[in-house]
Structure 1
Amino acid sequence: MEANTLDLVDRNQKTHKSEKAGENQNSDRISCLPDSIIYHILNFVPTIYVVQTSILSKRWKNIWISLPYIDFDDESVTDATGIEHSDDETLALRNKFRNSVNNFMLRRASSSTMSIIKFQLSTYCQFHGSHINEWISAAIRAGVLELDICIGNIENDLDYRLPSCLFNCKSLVTLKLCVDDVSFRFLDFFCFPNLKDMHLTHVILAKNFHHQLLNCPNLEKLHLDEFFIDMDPVLPSSNTFQDLTAERRSRILSNLDDAFIGMKCNHQSVGREVGRWLGTFIRKLSNVKTLRLSYASIKLLQYSQPCLLNHDHMPTFCNLKHLDLEVGGKDGDVVEILACLLQRSLDLQSLHLRYVFGSSWPRNWHGTLKPEEYLSNCDQHIRKLKKITVGNFWGTEKQIELVRLLLGNLRLEEITVQLHTTSYESLILLRQKLLQFPRLAKLVLLYETSEDEEDEEVIEEIFNVT
């Protein structure tokens, strides 16, 4: 009896120890993961919080030093979104964020040889440009692959320039720069031999920018939004790259697949010289598969180069499959540019027209040809175009006329119209007008049932016309 009791107690003790060991083993399963997986997990956490994991255990003490994904966002430190602070509090929060970034970058540079895969900085605190340049320079020295900088404010912004080490960074694969309310000029001379993605927003570009892009032979995606062009001559200095030869100026970006050109216009940039610059720039993009042009860009082309079809200003887009254009609801002169692009897009498969609100321009359509004459020869050039999408369609006379012209000259399989109306009467009227268009096989209507975002529901109606 005693022997059986002792055996039972012994088995219970072993079972309890085994369960306890299992609990201890499962209590910190993340620490048992390899560094590569832990780094991937920490990629989704702001870097400021990653540093705090150093107090967890010896395993975590120095793991943040070699972090390949670095993300600094001043909201994670200041928690200032939507909160009003006194001047002293704002200054203290700004200094806290600056010191956190400084300490991290200094410690990492002195203790780790691992490359930085991605360095992301988003701040609306007002910093001196020297601080931002120090952080960018540190990332470049660490062989950064992706640089994503979003800046809200800079002290003495008129004097701010990017660090010179960025001019010819050989490691960069992705470069994203966005500034807000800052007079920020991009590099006049640059060379990024491995760059594949360039995304610039709210910047001033030099007159030779499109020539310098040829120093990015592997560029696949280009996104230029809300940018200005400084048309003053660019004078290279001894510490910058010399401008390209005339022979290289004529080349195109042969690896570019996707491009968005969103020029920003003011009274100073509405000139023929800027439009001619844009026309030259677009010739560099003739190899793209997807091309998107903002309303201002289209109007600049039209304003500076009237009667485009009578001149060989536009290149032939042999690989263009998707064309996305912003058009104004009150302008008819977009037909000229549209027809010009259609006739020079030999492999086009889809066209997306997006109407923009509040669009205005000092010049209305005064072409030598009527709109239907511009589109009359498109059919023989774009045999593969089968689908058109029209966004923000509110049914003005010019909008309906443009759709009629397109359908009258093209053999489409489908047209999708996103109606900008919640009125049932307007919906019925627009539906009837669209269904009367010729050469239409399938009509898809998209509209919202309510203007309230919380209650809105997108309705899709499909009509097989033929």
Structure 2
Amino acid sequence: MDRRIQKHANKARMARRMAWEARHQDRISQLPDGILSHILSFLPTRDAVQTTILSKRWNNLWISIPNLDLDHNIVSSDKFGEFVDGVLSLHASSNIRKFRLCSRNSYYYGDEHLSRNSRWICDAMRHKIVELDLHIFDQNGPRRLGDLQLPVSLFTCKTLVALKVSSNCMNLAPPPSASACFPSLKSLHYRLGWPDSASMFEMLASKCPVLEDLTIDVCRIGNVYTLNFPAAELKTFRILGSLMAADKYRFSINAPKLENLVVSGQLGLSNYYFSNNAKAMVKAEIHLIHGCSGENIYRVESAPPLLEGVSGVKYLSLLTPVFSARSLPSFDNLKHLKVGLFRCSYWGYVIALLKRSPNLEDIVLDIWTWTWGKQEYVKGYRPFNPPEVVPICVSSHLRTISIINFMGYDDEFEVVKYLLQYSEVLRRLTISTRESYLFKTRRMTAEKLHKKALKFQKCSKTCEIEIIINCETDRHKNCSCHL
């Protein structure tokens, strides 16, 4: 009897041990080398190297990872150079898909810093790089602009498809003898740090024969800045800026295949001049919000060439100063429109856009609440005045309407009432807001908003009204109601 009990006890202990081992088994280390290398490629290279301390199984896995991410921010400055040298010398793979180098000169290094970076880039190019991401800065700023000479092999590399550059000391000008460079480059993101780099960039962009995606990120420029270059295969063009100080910003590109345009920054829309012969442009995002807060919100009496240049798009996101109705161009092809609204006196601006968009099907009205004050105290306030003639798109094409950050002002309700009354084919009207917005403006609760929406007359029998309210409580963060 005792032997039976002991036998069952041993079996139970064995089962518990096997269950414990199953729960604590290192399943990751049992994966194939290729999968483990792929996982490590998503880590900064320093962290990938540190996995060698886990066990012998991990000793040589990092040397075959397809991506290298070398960042001085996560390696001590005095050891960064030795670390990069070691990684490039030990890396066993003949192919590196993505190489990211984030390097910054310090007061402890002189010209050695620049020569090291050039050597690292040259070494990496031998691994048939597909994506190259460079963030290289020198403490001496513009005085060192152009001091970092890139290897000629970079401009002739046949495997490089994507290049991202951010630097205040790098010379990206192609060799004078080269009629073309970057034979396979399709994506270029260039952060301009100083005005002198403009001519360098224009020369570079004009010599990329298959460039499809171009981004210019401007952080500081002079009073007048002009770009003019051909781009036969360009499909997407972005121009971004955060600290721009130019009075005029002009860009002219010969891009017959251009489909997408993004212009974003802190300059007024009238500062931009855009010339383009593209007939295939489909989507445009114009986000220029300088002067759109407080009492500095202004109106533009004439539409600039930039707005005229995108009048043929199907998708338009417009976050800009308000234009007078007579200055807006016609958007005959426009199907989807998103508009940022500054202050509560500009509903007439929305009506003007509706009148000039005869085929519009979807509209999103994004109310920037931080620019809105109590309506009777807003300078230049004009109440909503319904047009005598209903816009064609409202009566015949408009399918969805979304109002974001609904405040509960009288004008907002009047606009909702008007759109519901005359939109014959409308399928859905969505109103999203917060309880705090409603209470602040009209002491209105979510329940009162629902009741008021029920009273609106709907021209379309198939239209649904959806009200989404952020209740701002732990239990009910978002409430929605379908009417």
TM-score interval, smaller chain: 0.5 to 0.7
1:386 aligns with 2:378: no
Partner of 1:218: 210
Partner of 1:171: 159
1:332 aligns with 2:322: no
Conserved 8 A contact 1:178-1:201:
yes
Select 2:65's aligned residue among 67, 92, 96: 67
Distance 1:264 1:139, change over 3 A: same
Partner of 1:58: 56
Give how far 1:193 is off.
1.8
Partner of 2:237: 259
> Which amino acid is 2:70 matched to?
F
Deviations 1:61-105 (A, max 9, x none): 22222222111233333xxxxxxxxxxxxxxx3112332222222
Distance 1:27 1:114, change over 3 A: farther
Matches within 5 A, 1:399-418: 400-411=347-358, 412-418=360-366
Deviations 1:381-411 (A, max 9, x none): x23x1221013x22275x5454332112223
Q: Tell me, what secondary structure is at the counterpart of 1:198?
A: strand
How many Å separate the matches in 2 of 1:102 and 1:67?
16
Q: Tell me, what secondary structure is at the counterpart of 1:177?
A: strand
Partner of 2:134: 149
Distance 1:206 1:373, change over 3 A: closer
Conserved 8 A contact 2:328-2:353:
no
Partner of 1:200: 190
Matches within 5 A, 1:311-326: 313-315=275-277, 317-326=278-287
Give how far 1:147 is off.
1.4
Conserved 8 A contact 1:419-1:447:
no
Partner of 1:308: none
How many Å separate the matches in 1 of 2:98 and 2:132?
6
Conserved 8 A contact 2:150-2:171:
no
Conserved 8 A contact 2:102-2:135:
yes
Partner of 2:389: none
Select 2:79's aligned residue among 82, 91, 96: 96
Conserved 8 A contact 1:115-1:144:
yes
Matches within 5 A, 1:274-353: 275=250, 278-279=251-252, 281=253, 283-284=254-255, 286-294=256-264, 296=267, 298-302=269-273, 313-315=275-277, 317-328=278-289, 329=292, 330-332=298-300, 335-337=303-305, 339-343=307-311, 345=312, 348-353=313-318
Give how far 1:38 is off.
0.5
How many Å separate the matches in 2 of 1:447 and 1:134?
55
Q: Tell me, what secondary structure is at the counterpart of 2:35?
A: helix
How many Å separate the matches in 1 of 2:27 and 2:174?
51
How many Å separate the matches in 2 of 1:448 and 1:129?
53
Give how far 1:183 is off.
5.4
Give how far 1:338 is off.
5.4
> Which amino acid is 1:216 matched to?
C
Identity across the alignment (%): 25
Q: Tell me, what secondary structure is at the counterpart of 1:294?
A: strand
> What's the RMSD between the two structures over aligned residues?
4.5
Give how far 1:118 is off.
1.3
Conserved 8 A contact 2:272-2:306:
no
Q: Tell me, what secondary structure is at the counterpart of 2:303?
A: helix
Conserved 8 A contact 1:262-1:297:
no
Conserved 8 A contact 1:388-1:415:
yes
Give how far 1:115 is off.
0.9
How many Å separate the matches in 1 of 2:429 and 2:304?
25
* Structure 1 unaligned blocks of 5 or more: 78-92, 234-248, 306-312, 360-364, 452-458
Conserved 8 A contact 2:217-2:241:
yes
The TM-score normalised by the length of structure 2 is 0.64
Give how far 1:13 is off.
8.2
Give how far 1:291 is off.
1.0
Conserved 8 A contact 2:68-2:99:
yes
Which structure has more helix as a fraction of its residues? 1
Give how far 1:353 is off.
0.7
Distance 1:15 1:444, change over 3 A: closer
Select 2:412's aligned residue among 431, 438, 449: 431
* Structure 2 unaligned blocks of 5 or more: 293-297, 376-406, 438-445, 461-483
How many Å separate the matches in 1 of 2:149 and 2:319?
35
Give how far 1:122 is off.
3.2
Give how far 1:141 is off.
1.6
Partner of 2:173: 187
> Which amino acid is 1:291 matched to?
L
> Which amino acid is 1:105 matched to?
L
How many Å separate the matches in 1 of 2:435 and 2:217?
32
Partner of 2:148: 161
Distance 1:444 1:341, change over 3 A: farther
If asked which structure has higher relative contact order (CA below 8 Å, sep 6+), I would say 1
Distance 1:28 1:332, change over 3 A: same
